[in-house]
Amino acid sequence: MNFKIIKYQSKEYEQMINLRTEVLRKPLGLVYTKQQLAMDKEDILIGCFNTENAELLACCILTIAEEHIMKLRQLAVDNKLQGKGIGSKLISFTEQVAKEAGYNKIELHARKYAEAFYQKLGCSVVGDEFFEVNIPHFKMEKYL
């Protein structure tokens, strides 16, 4: 596996949009708007690629939230590969990227079914359950 930062509007970014759509949007009957995708331009786009064929296996986004705080968004792992540790390795790489950029905390909105995954990685729930994209979420955080 090869972890790296993806350039906005590159061929790899197109793979990222496709994976995010398949894993995160289609199951909810949602599509990305041009405005939503345009927001990615200012973010750190991260991907995990198969070293043999350059296929995108997993991805996520880091967005500046506040001074020293980044927000982890849009974590997606190919449906066929979930449960194989790729998401955990992607998070580890993402945390390293955030630390190297001078950030000491990551915040995220975890879908309720993913809460246990993030807790295993050291994230803590902050506050009560809430709804986002019509499904239950928890705000979570981790100090780096």
Give tens-digit pLDDT for 9-37.
Answer: 999 999 999 999 999 999 999 999 999 99
From CA 108, how far away is CA 123, in angstroms rounded? 9
Residue 139: pLDDT band (50, 70, 90) is very high
From CA 49, how far away is CA 91, in angstroms rounded? 14
| Range(s) of the domain holding residue 96 | 2-108
| Chain centroid to CA 58 | 9
| Chain centroid to CA 88 | 11
Residue 142 covered by a domain: no
Residue type, 117: F
Residue 6 covered by a domain: yes
Counted residue by residue, the chain has a size of: 144
Residue 36 covered by a domain: yes
Residue 119 covered by a domain: no
Residue 58 φ then ψ, to 5°? -160, 160
Note whether 126 and 140 are within 8 A (CB).
Answer: yes
CA angle (47 as vertex; 110, 115 as ends), nearest 5 = 15
Residue type, 59: C
List, for residues 73-121, the tens digit of each pLDDT value. 999 999 999 999 999 999 999 999 999 999 999 999 999 999 999 999 9
Note whether 86 and 58 are within 8 A (CB).
Answer: yes
Residue 103 covered by a domain: yes
Q: In this structure, are strands 44-49 and 2-6 parallel, antiparallel, or unpaired?
A: antiparallel
- Whole-model pTM: value is 0.94
- The token pair at 86 is 């790729």
Q: What is the CATH number of the domain that holds 65?
A: 3.40.630.30
Residue 115 covered by a domain: no
